[in-house]
Structure 1
Amino acid sequence: MSSTNSALQARREAAVPRGVGSATTIHAARAENAELWDVEGKRYIDFAGGIAVLNVGHRHPKVMAAVRRQLDLFTHTAFQVAPYESYIALAERLNALAPFPGPAKTILFTTGAEATENAVKIARAATGRSGVIAFTGGFHGRTLLASALTGKVLPYKAPFGTMPGGVYHLPFPAGDIAVADSLRALDLLFAADIDPSHVAAIIIEPVQGEGGFRPAPTALLQALRAICDTHGIKLIADEVQTGFARTGKLFGIELSGVAPDLVCVAKSLGGGLPLSGVIGRAELMDAVGPGGLGGTYAGAPLACAAGLAVLDVIAEEGLVERANVIGARIRNRLDALRGKPGLVPFSAARGPGAMIGFDILEADGKTPRKGGAGAICARAAEHGLILLSCGVLGETVRILVPLTAPDSVIEEGLAIIERVLGA
């Protein structure tokens, strides 16, 4: 077997289509909490967390123990064939944590795209309508309907032909776009393209992920809630990246005080195993008849065991509060570096809790540098730190360090960021 990154990269290029991109050429051999070692034995600090999957870190002992216990019992039956307690127990836990009042129900899936697509299916079934409204810069997955919901053409839409119909986009408040501009665009949409009585749902990320770690303004979320209530539209919170303590709340939507109708969850819920779901108001969730929802591997036993353990870890280790502590540490360090001679210009850090992003800027200190974050992330990998970029222009560096990371490891990673920001 290949034992070097270059050898594995060559094999990858021969065997794996180029459509699945990788942020680095590091090939993982093992990982623990917020650290990863490649096949050549080099250690890296992980500030990517598997793209927000590892809020409880790599291989958390409680998650691993839960998976091992389940592994000794059974790995698969299909919940649609022979259901099992762990699925039911996880649904009960999530229902109790739902960020809206009243009875809730949860259905489990495997990927974030399954969660967003099924939330739309549920909203359509419950309302008898088909229209869906999303936002520019939003990311909701790579399957066809999820790509249609996603508010970015390249690379998610351009090669794939006509997208599913009935999906409309509003400008997301960012840069010179204000909340009033977004709401005015919604008024125009209702006047020109689709009557609100034909809209099933509005879907929004409480903090845009791929769009550049840009929080949705509370005023926007409040206005959307009121509009949805007026017109019988369902509000979907896409918490795939923001969920499970990352923002300093269990769910990012809680920062606004706005209660959604449906919540899409995935990523950190599974602690490293594929797991997603939709939590929704019970009357909506029951709008679909038996057989209309599900999936062969949806809510797999090993993943459900992991999910229950993840929720235990978040509660027992105070990770909601820990996210705020980590976020303050990172923001303070970055703020202290801004304007320091010899460093690449970058924006103030933004994002709630430990969901932190900052933009790489041009020499004027104002204009986002197209593709600027990618260069910083590549340099970071050379110095032993895994970082990810995002943003409409590829200008944003995002930090998703596990919430279980020791302070010493976080400081080590921040020191590398300072080093690679050297102009």
Structure 2
Amino acid sequence: MASQMFDSDSEDELPPGWEERVTTDGKVYYANHETRNTQWKHPVTGKKKVVKGELPYGWERNVMEDGTVYFVDHVNQKTTYTDPRLAFAEEVKDTPLDFRQKFDGSSTALQVLQGRDLTGKFALITGASCGIGLETARSLAIHGATVVMACRNMEAAHAGRALILAEQPKAQVEVLHVDFCCLRSVKDMAEQYQQKGWPLHLLILNAGVFGLPHSTTEDGLETTFQVNHLAQFYLTKLLINTLMRSAPARVIVVASESHRFSDLKESNISLDKLSPKSGQYWHMSAYNNSKLCNILFSNELNSRLSPHGITANALHPGNMMSSQLSRYSWFYQIIFTLVRPFTKSMQQGAATTVYCSIADELTNVGGLYFNNCCRCLPTKSAENKALAVTLWSISEHFLNKKTQHQQQSGDS
């Protein structure tokens, strides 16, 4: 099913007698039929444009015997002489960090993906059985990506997969089991992925819990900290070699504006602070801290792996959306239901995740934080390099200790 085209009131409409064209290498130029001249700059705005990437999903480029180029839209059974990529031409940027906002809080994931063909790309999405994760999986799969849904609830995951296939029968969607409350399960799933020999171009760390009463995992850690940060930190480390072989690759970490209310700092960060005992636990504090961990991890990961062709960015999907994030608390279920008419849809919630996954302007650009498909500044704590390094060290130390214990007990 093709995504619906949205209207644009573009300021650079061409004057009468002009035509926009594109060269085979993606440079946009303008033809004046009255003077029979061509030029690179737009006749009104004076701006230069380029088109990037392959043809949109379902399109094919053909050449007639006389050299005439035409394009076939196999989805809608149409033929045209106009390169469909022109609809998504972008202004030439002065610097890599020259971001021009094309989408906002009302944009949907499918709108962000318009004109993109992701055939050949592999995306692993954690927590993809419902909510934003499922919409992210659906949107990427509809546009040709091979999507691997990493989920705890296999019944819900297979139901989600069936919905995607019912909409797009040719979609490539796989399901793998993982339980982030169990580090052994994370290791098993990573090994399964590697054994299948799949590349990995997009690792989308979307899974998360919220509003939990105090509980501990079988690994002895507070559940919110392990599920929201440590298990996904571990999964990423296990898949680093796969990401490197697939480079360029991206890691997208779904964080939250809740990170602004974290009280983590250099003077108090420790495993006891991150994974508090019952008497020191408050679910909101645990969630806020875990979301700050998401951004710190994303930034440090980008710092370490960007020289190897792997970038990482973090994002906020939206406030109090009617996903299943609130499923562990009847109180928050009521609150989320009441505010539902005023919050984003799941398609809108998935838009920033998808934007960070496929935006051409983010090629080789990482270590940033996004909200409403636009770069924004996180807190100073989120950009604290020393705090990020300490979190990384604490996380690695626990995982190494856990691995050593398993080896000593013969349970590895």
Bin the TM-score by the shorter chain: under 0.3
Length-normalised TM-score, structure 1 = 0.26
Which structure's relative contact order is higher, taking Cα pairs within 8 Å and 6+ residues apart?
A: 1
Considering only CA atoms, is the larger Rg found in Structure 1 or Structure 2?
2
